[in-house]
Amino acid sequence: MDSTAPTPQRTNPLGMIALAAQGLGKSALPLVAAMFGLRDEFSGIALVLVALAGVGGIMAVLAFLRWHRLTYVVGAEDIRVESGIISRAARSVPYERIQDVSLEQTLLPRLLGLVEVRFETGAGGKDELKLAYLTAEEGARLREVIRERREEEAVAGVAQEAGAEQDSPPIFAMGPGRLLRFGLFEFSLAAVAVMGGLAQQFDFILPFDIWDWEHWMELVAGPGDWIAHLGPWAQALGIMLALASLAVLGFATGIIRTFTREWGFRLDRTPKGFRRQRGLFTRTDVVMPAHRVQAVQVGTRFLRRRFGWHSLKFVSLAQDAGKASHVVAPFAKLAEIDPIIRAAGFEPESDTLDWHRAAPEYRTDSMVLVGGFFVLLALGLGIFVNPLLGFAPVALGMALVLGEQVSWQFLLHATDARQLYSRRGWLVPKSTIASRVKLHSAEISQGPLAQRRGYATLLLGLAGGTLALRGLPVERARALRAAVVESMTGTDFSELR
């Protein structure tokens, strides 16, 4: 036996509490529902309470067995994890396959000072490796050790780097005031839908049938008749108060969601990359290596743009295909976004760029296809149903045709020696800046109509999707593809650090 082999380690024992709580939470809801269903029988309630206590005991035993049977080893070349109560599973992941290590804290583990360590391998889904739970200090240390060994650097620099992260100011952060403004733009009536869903699931608890519309009409008939006698001004005031109540609920929902998701938002630029921390109840701590950022995306919405607010996302090789891009500045001014873009090794858009639009033939064909569809729909309704019904599709078609013309005006692209730039959208504009070197692929796509009309779509491979430059003249699409392929093949990716 090799005496120098690393000793298998177990996760923190406090993690058994979080594991047991997770299992109990999945089983408690059906038992509580059964208790309400048997609320008229004392013996039934007592039985459910005994069952709930028994399930809690079983979950505690299972949590102990899961904790005791899970071990991990941080080796010289890989990390190995063994788990399983009855059937054992052993998994070994080489460091070069680990794209990133992130830390996540839900509410109970956070109260216990624990984190879940996730190792992203790019496989996605259940194939991702994770350790639940370690102390926050051990999780941070393990992340840095794995990153150092993956990049074949000395572990001695870990403590110095961790200290530098804490001492240096963030390159972007959001305090309570910024979060409040952000929440006002996140107007949502999701709370109404949630309450409706809960009422449907637990309607047996309520003393009346919530879906009995005749009962509701009887309840409203008395006050409604009284309001009708007050005159049209009082009725209008009642409608305004009802709409104001919905508005208050929508704004409150947006603010609450924003505070819970983005509380304590902090973005740091470290020697290893970008470290993002956020979350009130579920705290996440993600590090995005700078050399893995393929592209940056700046987006906004119609109302936010009027006040100068935008968001910034990183499209990173450290994410698997099933995840969204990393949001690194969800609510910021362009003056705050540009330094982050430069810190990632990209150059923001400048006035010197030579912007190109899609081919005019692409615009014309889009307008004809959209308009033609609604003309046929109008003819069908007018001939087979009612001639008056044909006017609505014609009006809608004219609006959409005009929309295609406006969209074409904002469908732009540009390039320089290092980057590709793409703009699209009028009401919801989005700009993408991609590194030509880090793109996965470059493909030209042409349908039958595009072949006849002389334009094409250039599809550029990114993590989790593609960057599509639509409606390019064929000659320009081929020239851009050749330039991108030359950039990709002329670079040694092992030197991108």
Query: Could you report the per-residue pLDDT of 89-113, keeping only the tens digit for each?
Result: 888 888 877 877 888 888 888 889 9
Report yes or no: 480 and 465 within 8 Å, Cβ to Cβ.
no
List of long-range contacts for 192-196, beta carbons under 8 Å, 24+ apart: 192/246, 192/249
Are 198 and 148 within one domain? no
Query: Could you report the per-residue pLDDT of 210-250, keeping only the tens digit for each?
Result: 555 555 555 555 555 555 565 677 667 777 887 888 888 88
Are 221 and 278 within one domain? no
Query: Could you report the per-residue pLDDT of 122-163, keeping only the tens digit for each?
Result: 655 555 688 889 998 898 888 888 877 766 543 344 444 444
Nearest residue to 290 via CA among 162, 100, 440, 159: 100
Are 150 and 73 within one domain? yes
At which of 246, 261, 276 does a domain end? 261
Average pLDDT, stretch 396-400? 92
How high is the pLDDT of residue 163? 45
Are 256 and 269 within one domain? no
With a cut of 90, say whether residue 204 has pLDDT above it. Answer: no
What is the pLDDT of the chain when averaged over all its residues? Answer: 82
In what order do the strands lie in the sheet containing 326-332? 326-332, 310-316, 293-299, 430-435, 419-424, 412-415, 356-357
With a cut of 80, say whether residue 251 has pLDDT above it. Answer: yes
Tell me if 313 is assigned to some domain.
yes
Tell me if 410 is assigned to some domain.
no
How high is the pLDDT of residue 492? 57
Are 270 and 246 within one domain? no
**End-to-end C-alpha distance for the chain, whole angstroms:** 38
Q: What is the 3-state secondary structure (H, E, C) of the chain?
A: CCCCCCCCECCCCCHHHHHHHHHHHHHHHHHHHHHHHCCCCHHHHHHHHHHHHHHHHHHHHHHHHHHHHCEEEECCCEEEEEECCCCCEEEEEEHHHCCEEEEEECHHHHHCCEEEEEEECCCCHHHCEEEEEEEHHHHHHHHHHHHHHHCCCCCCHHHHHHHHHHHCCCCEECCHHHHHHHHHCCCCCHHHHHHHHHHHHCCCCCCCCCCCHHHHHHHHHHHHHHHHCCCHHHHHHHHHHHHHHHHHHHHHHHHHHHHHHHCCCEEEEECCEEEEEECCCCEEEEEEEHHHEEEEEEECCHHHHHCCCEEEEEEECCCCCCCCCEEEEEEECHHHHHHHHHHCCCCCCCCCCCCEECCHHHHHHHHHHHHHHHHHHHHHHHHHCCHHHHHHHHHHHHHHHHHHHHHHHCCEEEECCCEEEEEECCCCCEEEEEECCCCCCEEEECCHHHHHHCEEEEEEEECCEEEEEEEEEHHHHHHHHHHHHHHHHCCCHHHCC
Average pLDDT, stretch 451-462? 94
Tell me if 397 is assigned to some domain.
no
Are 98 and 153 within one domain? yes
At which of 261, 276, 306 does a domain end? 261
Are 217 and 324 within one domain? no
How far is Cα 444 from Cα 479, in angstroms, rounded to an integer? 11
Are 49 and 132 within one domain? yes
Nearest residue to 16 via CA among 90, 109, 89: 109
Q: Is the dihedral of CA 299, 304, 310, 314 positive or negative?
A: negative
How high is the pLDDT of residue 29? 63
Tell me if 458 is assigned to some domain.
no
Amino acid at 112: L
How high is the pLDDT of residue 203? 54
How high is the pLDDT of residue 47? 66
Provide the 10 A C-beta neighbour count for residue 357: 16
Are 150 and 133 within one domain? yes
Among 47-61, 195-209, 349-363, which range has the highest average pLDDT? 349-363
How far is Cα 439 from Cα 155, in angstroms, rounded to an integer? 31
How high is the pLDDT of residue 481? 94
Question: Which residue's structure tokens are 């296809």?
Answer: 369
* Domains in the chain, number: 3
Range of the domain at 83: 15-167
Query: Could you report the per-residue pLDDT of 461-481, keeping only the tens digit for each?
Result: 887 678 999 999 999 999 999
Q: Is the dihedral of CA 439, 445, 450, 452 positive or negative?
A: positive
Tell me if 50 is assigned to some domain.
yes
With a cut of 50, say whether residue 379 has pLDDT above it. Answer: yes
- CA–chain centroid gap for 490, Å, is 33
**Per-residue pLDDT band at 37 (split at 50, 70, 90):** low
At which of 291, 309, 343 does a domain end? 343
Query: Could you report the per-residue pLDDT of 174-194, keeping only the tens digit for each?
Result: 999 999 999 999 988 776 666
Are 276 and 339 within one domain? yes
Tell me if 73 is assigned to some domain.
yes
Asked if residue 455 has a cis previous peptide bond (ω within 30° of 0), the answer is no
Report yes or no: 276 and 313 within 8 Å, Cβ to Cβ.
no
Among the ranges given (125-134, 256-265, 273-282, 326-335), the one the predictor scored with the smallest mean pLDDT: 125-134
Are 26 and 64 within one domain? yes
Tell me if 144 is assigned to some domain.
yes
Q: Please, is 374 exposed, middle or buried when counting C-beta atoms within 10 Å of its C-beta (0-12, 13-18, 19+)?
A: buried
With a cut of 90, say whether residue 340 has pLDDT above it. Answer: yes
Are 132 and 214 within one domain? no
Q: Beta 430-435 vs 419-424: how paired, if at all?
A: antiparallel
- Select the more confidently predicted residue: 329 or 243: 329
- pTM for the model: 0.78
The domain that holds 52 is classified in CATH as 2.30.29
Average pLDDT, stretch 23-31? 68
Tell me if 71 is assigned to some domain.
yes
